């Protein structure tokens, strides 16, 4: 069979071997994107902050100077000092230690909630978008039901229904955000599936799985990444809001949200107590946002030099 | 190739129809349907090029895609290499698809922007699992790249880095990599510069000579059709109005529509004395096609019979098929007398 091609090939001008070998280093899509990302200094700086935050969360027991639940009644609402850099709270607990431990809750909730939301959202969104018709109608109606409730009230309802706790918070925030991912992916898939390169794959005999995995998802990737990286700070904010309202993380466990909630009583007397958890939230949210933007730019081949 | 193979047609299409339902209103009840392709029959020999010509919206592309079942036809028969292509499904269908490929019109939309040139060309090989090792796939892809005239060092480049002509070469490479017997070329050169058009056309004819595939070549450009086709099929509003060998069709166009098309080709002479047939009006809506002969609303020959009776596609000699009540009368010879 191949003979007919090679017959023609032999007639063609042969390309020089050395040119070939010099110009054909292996490069993958993600390798190229990473190179591109490395050129973006601000994004790399934010990536550094994110890595530091994650390390702080993992090694919290080694870094924190005190146990976050240790109550020192000789130093209630202490001023910032060498012993307590940000002071202490109304039970005499070290605020710095509580912020360090609070990063565990915030970051894990942000990431886990987004991973759950993306898995569910991408799967359901691409199925709805690709198949269309009745499957799409069913999934879209479910999404509309979820979207019919105001976000915070919906999360509050789930938390009240299931009870407080970290795992329930994962579920609540996952349920809250998967719809957004699914909607975006559904839209992109509906648009992408009409493209001729998808038709070309089908003309070569590709299965639906192949088309979704090789044709559609890679082209939705920048959308997914933007959604995830913008979703993580969002989830962190929701966690803070819910904890602030007293239905997220239950007090002895430190979280940035419930710290701000507790601190509001003392905001005039000990401003650092409420400012520092807020600064922690702000740094995390900004770092994820800027890093997400940089990642999106790097993953878009059209922006490549 | 031996004699016997040439005798049997590669592809036979019988009474192919494609209708798109038109939904209207809030209740989305099906009201009417657009007959994009209405009762098209033809056969294609191995190594043959069938040119399909017609104005925009006449169903050429839908026909081409229906033949490959990229658009599922409403009814009709497609017999490919003796097998009923319409009845296959699942893995059998996917396997048969490796033998029929398509080249698209838009070289910008037809290449996946997330894949490198090498990955794009290798995709059909990977889908069909032709090779087990990556090196073999790569070797095959590099060979195909040089066959279509792409520098092999572009292997790791992305499609947006290329010009239209080079992109179309990538598309051609992708379609020939599985060595198909049939390629549907859906206006492969109409999006390209004129200078590049001829290069791509010559590449297509060279590939046909060396690999021996058949083309269904869809175009609205008559000069291109004249250059590349063996036989030509003229479509109007989803119907085949005329089909003949290229020379016969261009020398002796028998359907009034074909005549109008041929007389619309601009001539390079400045003071050409040739008279032109100007068609009046627009293409009627395929949702509500005219009664009788679909062309009677714009035909300069139309009589009462055309409004009521639909002309059959009949052989008027030497395999020249024409669907007109007066095709014997209005042959090119009689036309010349009139002008």
Rounded to a whole number of angstroms, the distance from the CA of A1 to the nearest CA of chain B is: 8
pLDDT of A58: 87
**Residue B70, helix vs strand vs coil:** coil
Rounded to a whole number of angstroms, the distance from the CA of A28 to the nearest CA of chain B is: 8
Give the rounded percent of residues in chain B with a pLDDT score beyond 70. Answer: 90
- Chain B partners within 8 Å of A304 (Cβ): 158
Minimum-distance CB partner of A301 among B144, B160, B212: B160
- Chain A partners within 8 Å of B97 (Cβ): 202-205
DSSP A211: I
Rounded to a whole number of angstroms, the distance from the CA of A57 to the nearest CA of chain B is: 35
Rounded to a whole number of angstroms, the distance from the CA of A121 to the nearest CA of chain B is: 22
pLDDT of A4: 52
- Token output for B95: 């396997």
Judge contact between A252 and A244, C-beta under 8 A: no
- Token output for A15: 């390309």
Which residues on adjacent β-strands are paired with residue A6?
A: none
pLDDT of B51: 92
- What mean pLDDT value characterizes chain B? 83
pLDDT of B274: 67
- Chain A partners within 8 Å of B168 (Cβ): none
Give the A:B interface size as CB pairs under 8 Å: 118
pLDDT of B89: 82
- Chain B partners within 8 Å of A1 (Cβ): 179
- Chain A partners within 8 Å of B116 (Cβ): 27, 29
Cα A183 off chain centre by: 17
A74 touching chain B per CB within 8 A: no
| Interchain CB distance below 8 Å, B123 and A5 | no
Nearest CA in chain A to B182: A203
Judge contact between B186 and B68, C-beta under 8 A: no
Interface test with A, best of B114, B149, B190 (most A CBs within 10 A): B114
- Token output for A161: 């229904």
CB neighbourhood size of B99 (10 A): 16
Judge contact between A29 and B159, C-beta under 8 A: no
Interface test with B, best of A1, A19, A188, A196 (most B CBs within 10 A): A196
pLDDT of B314: 80
B307 touching chain A per CB within 8 A: no
Rounded to a whole number of angstroms, the distance from the CA of B234 to the nearest CA of chain A is: 25
pLDDT of A8: 47
pLDDT of A28: 56
Minimum-distance CB partner of B68 among A15, A25, A203: A203
A 188-217 residues inside an 8 A Cβ radius of B: 195-197, 199-207, 210, 214-215
- Token output for B248: 């016969």
Burial B268-303 (b: 16+ CB within 10 A, else e): eeeeeeeeeeebeeebbebeebbebbbbbbbbebbe
- Residue predicted with more confidence, B64 or B269: B64
B4, pLDDT greater than 60: no
| Confidence band of B273 (pLDDT split at 50, 70, 90) | low
Lowest mean pLDDT among A33-42, A251-260, B14-23, B271-280: B271-280
Lowest mean pLDDT among A23-37, A98-112, B115-129, B190-204: A23-37
A82 touching chain B per CB within 8 A: no
Cα dihedral A173→A178→A180→A185 (10° resolution): 160
| Confidence band of B330 (pLDDT split at 50, 70, 90) | low
Query: What CA–CA distance (Å, rounded) separates A268 from A273?
Result: 10
Q: How far is CA B240 from CA B36, B144, B288, in A?
A: 12, 36, 18
- Token output for B78: 């497609």
**Residue B279, helix vs strand vs coil:** coil
Minimum-distance CB partner of B104 among A2, A8, A200: A200
Which ranges of chain A does DSSP label H, i.e. alpha helix? 3-11, 17-23, 29-39, 41-58, 60-63, 95-131, 133-147, 151-162, 166-192, 196-203, 208-210, 217-244, 256-263, 271-299
- Token output for A51: 């890595």
pLDDT of A138: 92
B106 touching chain A per CB within 8 A: yes
Minimum-distance CB partner of B95 among A7, A9, A205: A205
- Chain B partners within 8 Å of A210 (Cβ): 127
For the stretch B130-188, pLDDT in tens is 888 888 888 899 999 988 888 888 888 888 888 888 899 999 999 999 889 999 998 88
Q: How far is CA A99 from CA A76, A257, A265, in A?
A: 17, 10, 18
A 1-20 residues inside an 8 A Cβ radius of B: 1-2, 4-9, 11-15, 19-20
| Confidence band of B1 (pLDDT split at 50, 70, 90) | very low
pLDDT of B338: 44
Q: How far is CA B183 from CA A77, B164, B282, in A?
A: 80, 20, 31
Interface test with A, best of B89, B156, B158, B213 (most A CBs within 10 A): B156
**All residues at 6 or more sequence positions from A26 whose CB lies less than 8 Å from its CB, including other chains:** B156
Minimum-distance CB partner of B109 among A9, A196, A204: A196
Nearest CA in chain A to B183: A203
pLDDT of B184: 92
pLDDT of A171: 84
| Interchain CB distance below 8 Å, A199 and B156 | no
Pairing of strands B75-80, B239-245: unpaired
Phi, then psi, of A273 in degrees rounded to 5: -60, -40
| Confidence band of B223 (pLDDT split at 50, 70, 90) | confident
Per-residue pLDDT of chain A (305 residues; tens, 9 = 90+): 455 555 444 444 334 343 444 444 445 566 677 777 788 888 889 889 989 988 888 887 887 777 777 777 777 766 777 777 777 777 778 878 888 888 888 888 888 888 888 889 999 998 999 888 899 999 999 998 888 888 888 888 888 888 877 788 888 888 888 888 899 899 888 888 888 888 888 888 888 888 888 888 888 887 788 788 878 888 888 888 888 887 877 777 788 888 888 888 887 777 788 888 888 889 988 998 888 888 878 776 565 54
| Interchain CB distance below 8 Å, A196 and B114 | no
Q: What is the pTM of this model?
A: 0.76
- Chain A partners within 8 Å of B109 (Cβ): 195-197
In order, the DSSP letters of A74-100 are GGTTPPP-SSSTT-B-TTS-BHHHHHH
First to last CA, chain B: 47
Rounded to 5°, angle at Cα A22 from B174 and A14: 55
pLDDT of A10: 46
Question: Largest alpha-carbon pair distance within chain A?
Answer: 92
Nearest CA in chain B to A303: B160
Taking the CA atoms of chain B, what radius of gyration do you get in angstroms?
21
Minimum-distance CB partner of A201 among B113, B123, B178: B123
Minimum-distance CB partner of B212 among A4, A9, A215: A4
Rounded to a whole number of angstroms, the distance from the CA of A130 to the nearest CA of chain B is: 15
- Token output for B267: 């001539």
DSSP A213: I
Q: Residue B39, by phi and psi: left (phi above 0), alpha (psi -120 to 50) or beta? A: left
Rounded to a whole number of angstroms, the distance from the CA of A217 to the nearest CA of chain B is: 10
């Amino acid at each position: 069979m191949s003979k007919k091609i090679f017959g023609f090939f032999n007639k063609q001008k042969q390309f020089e071997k050395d040119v070939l070998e010099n110009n054909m280093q292996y490069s993958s899509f993600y390798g190229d994107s990473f190179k591109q990302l490395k050129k973006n200094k601000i994004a790399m700086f934010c990536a550094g902050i994110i890595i530091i935050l994650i390390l702080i969360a993992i090694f919290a027991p080694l870094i924190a100077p005190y146990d976050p639940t240790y109550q020192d009644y000789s130093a209630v609402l202490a001023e910032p000092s060498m012993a307590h850099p940000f002071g202490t709270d109304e039970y005499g607990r070290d605020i710095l230690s509580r912020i360090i431990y609070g990063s565990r809750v915030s970051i894990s909730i942000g990431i886990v909630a987004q991973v759950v939301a993306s898995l569910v959202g991408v799967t359901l969104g691409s199925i709805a978008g690709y198949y269309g018709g009745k499957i799409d109608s069913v999934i879209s109606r479910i999404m509309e039901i979820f979207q019919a409730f105001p976000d915070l009230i919906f999360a509050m309802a789930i938390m009240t229904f299931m009870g407080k706790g970290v795992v329930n918070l994962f579920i609540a925030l996952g349920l809250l955000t998967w719809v957004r991912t699914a909607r975006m992916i559904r839209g992109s898939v509906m648009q992408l599936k009409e493209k001729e390169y998808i038709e070309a794959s089908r003309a070569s005999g590709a299965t639906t799985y192949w088309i979704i995995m090789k044709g559609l998802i890679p082209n939705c990737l920048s959308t997914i990444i933007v959604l995830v990286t913008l979703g993580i700070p969002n989830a962190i904010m929701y966690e803070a809001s819910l904890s602030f309202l007293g239905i997220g993380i239950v007090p002895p466990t430190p979280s940035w949200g419930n710290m701000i909630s507790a601190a509001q009583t003392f905001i005039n007397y000990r401003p650092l107590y409420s400012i520092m958890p807020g600064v922690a939230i702000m740094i995390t949210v900004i770092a994820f946002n800027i890093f997400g933007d940089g990642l999106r730019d790097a993953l878009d081949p059209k922006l490549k030099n | 190739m031996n004699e016997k193979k040439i005798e049997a047609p590669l592809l036979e299409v019988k009474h192919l129809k494609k209708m798109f339902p038109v939904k209207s209103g809030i209740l989305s009840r099906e009201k009417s349907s657009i007959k994009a392709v209405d009762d098209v029959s033809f056969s294609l020999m191995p190594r043959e090029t069938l040119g399909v010509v017609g104005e925009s919206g006449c169903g050429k592309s839908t026909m081409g895609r229906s033949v490959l079942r990229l658009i599922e036809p409403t009814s009709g028969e497609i017999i490919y290499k003796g097998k009923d292509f319409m009845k296959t499904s699942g893995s059998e269908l996917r396997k048969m698809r490796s033998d029929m490929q398509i080249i698209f019109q838009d070289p910008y939309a037809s290449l996946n922007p997330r894949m490198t040139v090498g990955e794009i060309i290798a995709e059909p090989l990977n889908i069909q699992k032709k090779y087990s090792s990556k090196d073999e796939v790569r070797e095959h892809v590099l060979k195909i790249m040089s066959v279509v005239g792409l520098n092999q060092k572009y292997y790791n480049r992305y499609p947006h880095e290329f010009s239209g002509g080079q992109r179309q070469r990538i598309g051609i490479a992708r379609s020939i990599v599985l060595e198909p017997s049939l390629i549907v070329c859906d206006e492969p050169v109409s999006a390209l510069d004129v200078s590049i058009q001829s290069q791509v056309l010559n590449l297509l004819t060279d590939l046909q000579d060396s690999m021996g595939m058949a083309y269904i070549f869809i175009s609205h450009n008559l000069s291109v059709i004249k250059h590349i086709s063996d036989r030509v099929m003229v479509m109007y509003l989803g119907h085949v109005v005329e089909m003949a060998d290229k020379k016969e069709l261009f020398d002796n166009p028998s359907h009034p529509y074909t005549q109008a098309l041929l007389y619309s080709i601009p001539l390079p002479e400045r003071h050409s004395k040739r008279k032109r047939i100007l068609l009046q009006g627009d293409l009627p809506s395929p949702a509500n096609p005219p009664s009788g002969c679909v062309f009677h609303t714009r035909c300069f020959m139309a009589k009462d019979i055309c409004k009521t009776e639909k002309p059959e596609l009949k052989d008027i000699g030497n395999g020249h098929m024409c669907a007109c009540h007066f095709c014997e009368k209005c042959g090119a010879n009689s036309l010349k007398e009139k002008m």
